[in-house]
Amino acid sequence: MATGQSVTSFDPRLVRADTPALARIINGRPITYLDSAASSLPPRPVIDAMSRHYERQHANVHRGVYQTANESTQSYEGAREAIARFIHAPDGAEEIVFTKNATESFNLLAKSWGAKNLGVGDVVLLSVMEHHANIVPWFQLRDAVGIEVRFIPVGDDYRLDLSNIEELMKGVRLVSVTAMSNVLGTVTPLQELARIAHEHGALIAVDAAQLVGHAPSNVVDLDVDFFMFSAHKMLGPTGLGVLWTRRDILAEMPPFLGGGGMIADVSTSGYVPAKGPTRFEAGTPPIAEAAGLSAAVTFLEGLGMQNIAQHDRDLTRDALARIDDEFGGRVRIIGPRDTEQRGGVISMDVEGVHAHDVAQVLDQFGVCVRPGHHCAKPLMKRFNLTATARASFGPYSLVSDTDVLIEALNDAVKLFG
C-alpha cells in the first residue's frame, strides 16, 4: 500500500491509492469523485494524523504543563508553521490565524479590520464572480457602518473586465477578490490587481479557497495583504480555516470573537486582549484538525504544487475538448475555453436538462458532480443561469474519471431527449 509520505514524484494513481474514500462503490460502480471544488477527499496520512492525535495525545492546548498538553500545543503551533511555510508568509507563524473555515476568515476580516478602518463613503471592491463568503460579510459591514460595496464586472469571456478599473477604484480602500472562481474556473490576475490596489492606496484581500490545494501560493510574490482559505479544500479536514495577513496589519486589528485564550487579562470591569494570532482565536481551537492540516501540507508538498497545477490543466484541457466533441452545443461550458489562467473546475449547462437532473442521472453512474448556484448567485444571474452542474478535479483525478463523466452525461442527454 502506498502511503502519503512516500509519494515524492507526482503520480495521481498513487494519490488515489492513498485516498480511502475513492475505494467506495456507488450503485455498483466505483465512485467517480468530481466535486473537489466543494470539498476534497483527505488522504490516509491526513485521516491518520487526526486519529493518532485522539489516540495518543489529545489534550487542550496552551497553559498545559503535562506532556500530552505540550505535545498537543506543539502540534497545533506546528500547523501554524506548516501553513506559514506553505504560503510563504514573510514573518512566519506569527501571521497565521486559525478560524473555522474560509467564511469565518472573511467575517473576521470584515468585522475586525473592516469595522475599524472603514466607514461611510469607503468602498470595498469585489467582483461579480465572488463566492457568497466574500460578499455577505461586506453587505453586513455596509449595513453596520455604511461602506459601499462595488463589483468588478465579468466579461463574456468569463474573466474579470478590468477595462473600467480606474473608475471603479474611486474611493476604494480594499479590493477583495477570488484567486480562482469556484464556478468558472477562471484564475484572476492577482498581481495586476494588487498593483492597482496599492497604486490607489488600497489593500487587497484574496479568497484563496480554490487556489491553495491546486497551485503554489506565495503571498510575497503576489504582493497581497490578506489571504483566506479552508483546510477541507486542500486535502485537510473540515472545521478549520486560515486567515493570513502581514504582522503589522494583524497587530492593529481589534479582537473579533471574545472568550478564553484571546485575552491578556479579564476582571469584572473589562478585558485586555492578547497580542498575536491568539487574539483572534477565542475558545478551544480545532486541535485535531490542525494536526490533519499539517499532514495535508506535508502531503501536498510531497506531490509538488506545480505538478498538481499541471495535472489540473491536463485533465481540464482533455475534458473540455471531449465534452465539445461529444455533445457539440448541447453541453455548454460556463467558463473560459483556454486552459491558461484557468483551474480544474468545469461548470456545465446541459440544454433541456436542469442541473439537478443532470446530477441525479450522473449519481446512477457513481459520478459526483454538484448542481446549483455554488454560492455565487450574482455570477449565475450575470449569465442568466439558476444552476450549473459542476465537475471539478483533485490530485487523485484521472482521465478515466472524465470517461465515466461523459458516459453518464450521454445517458442524461438521451433520457431527456
Partner 1 sequence: MSNLEDLYREVILDHYRSPRNRGELETPPAHRVEGFNPLCGDEVTAYLLVDDGVLTDIKMTGHGCSISQSSSSLMSAAVKGKPIEQVRALITTFKKLMTVHESSIESTDSAPLQDVRSLGELAALQGVVKFPVRIKCATLAWNTLNQGLDELDATP
Under rule CB under 8 A, which residues in 301-360 are in contact with a second copy? Answer: 356, 359-360
Question: Which residue lies nearer to a second copy by CB, 59 or 398?
Answer: 59
User: In angstroms, what is the minimal distance from the CB of 232 to a second copy?
Assistant: 6
Per CB under 8 A, does 410 bind partner 1? no
Question: For residue 2, what are the contacts with CB-CB under 8 A and spacing of at least 6?
Answer: 14, 17, 18
The answer to whether 233 and 36 are in contact (CB under 8 A) is: yes
Q: Which of 90, 146, 155, 260 binds a second copy (CB under 8 A)?
A: 260
Q: Which of 400, 359, 295, 311 is nearest to 53 (CA)?
A: 295
3-state helix, strand, coil in the chain (%, to 5): 45, 20, 35
User: In angstroms, what is the minimal distance from the CB of 329 to a second copy?
Assistant: 24
CB atoms within 10 A of CB 155: 12
User: Judged by CB under 8 A, which stretch of 102-110, 153-161, 312-320, 357-365 contacts partner 1?
Assistant: 357-365
Per CB under 8 A, does 68 bind a second copy? yes
Q: Could you tell me whether strands 172-178 and 203-207 are parallel, antiparallel, or unpaired per DSSP bridges? A: parallel
d(CA 214, CA 230): 13
The answer to whether 248 and 276 are in contact (CB under 8 A) is: no
User: Judged by CB under 8 A, which stretch of 63-71, 155-163, 212-220, 312-320 contacts a second copy?
Assistant: 63-71
Q: Which of 238, 239, 235, 280 is nearest to 262 (CA)?
A: 280
Q: Which of 186, 207, 204 is nearest to 194 (CA)?
A: 204
Q: Which of 223, 213, 188 is nearest to 300 (CA)?
A: 213
d(CA 323, CA 346): 10
Which residue has its beta carbon closest to ligand PLP? Answer: 283
User: In angstroms, what is the minimal distance from the CB of 377 to a second copy?
Assistant: 4
Q: Residue 90: name its binding partner from a second copy, ligand PLP, partner 1, none (Cβ under 5 to 8 Å by kind).
A: none
User: In angstroms, what is the minimal distance from the CB of 24 to a second copy?
Assistant: 6
The gap from C-alpha 271 to its chain's centroid, in whole angstroms, comes to 34
Q: Please provide residue 416's backbone torsions phi and psi, each rounded to the nearest 5 degrees.
A: -90, 5
Q: Residue 354: name its binding partner from a second copy, partner 1, ligand PLP, none (Cβ under 5 to 8 Å by kind).
A: partner 1
Question: For residue 169, what are the contacts with CB-CB under 8 A and spacing of at least 6?
Answer: 125, 196, 197, 200, 202
Per CB under 8 A, does 39 bind a second copy? yes
Per CB under 8 A, does 284 bind partner 1? no
Q: Which of 2, 93, 271, 302 binds a second copy (CB under 8 A)?
A: 271
Per CB under 8 A, does 386 bind a second copy? no
327: which 3 cell numbers? 455533445
Site for partner 1 in 359-378 (CB under 8 A): 360-361, 364, 371-373
User: In angstroms, what is the minimal distance from the CB of 3 to a second copy?
Assistant: 15
User: In angstroms, what is the minimal distance from the CB of 241 to ligand PLP?
Assistant: 6
Question: Which residue lies nearer to ligand PLP by CB, 172 or 228?
Answer: 228
CB atoms within 10 A of CB 267: 7
Q: What positions carry a catalytic annotation?
A: 375
Site for partner 1 in 30-89 (CB under 8 A): 62-65, 70, 73
Q: Residue 264: name its binding partner from partner 1, ligand PLP, a second copy, none (Cβ under 5 to 8 Å by kind).
A: partner 1
Per CB under 8 A, does 277 bind partner 1? no
Per CB under 8 A, does 416 bind partner 1? yes
Q: Which residues bind partner 1 (CB under 8 A)?
A: 27, 62-65, 70, 73, 263-265, 274, 352-357, 360-361, 364, 371-373, 386-387, 411, 415-417
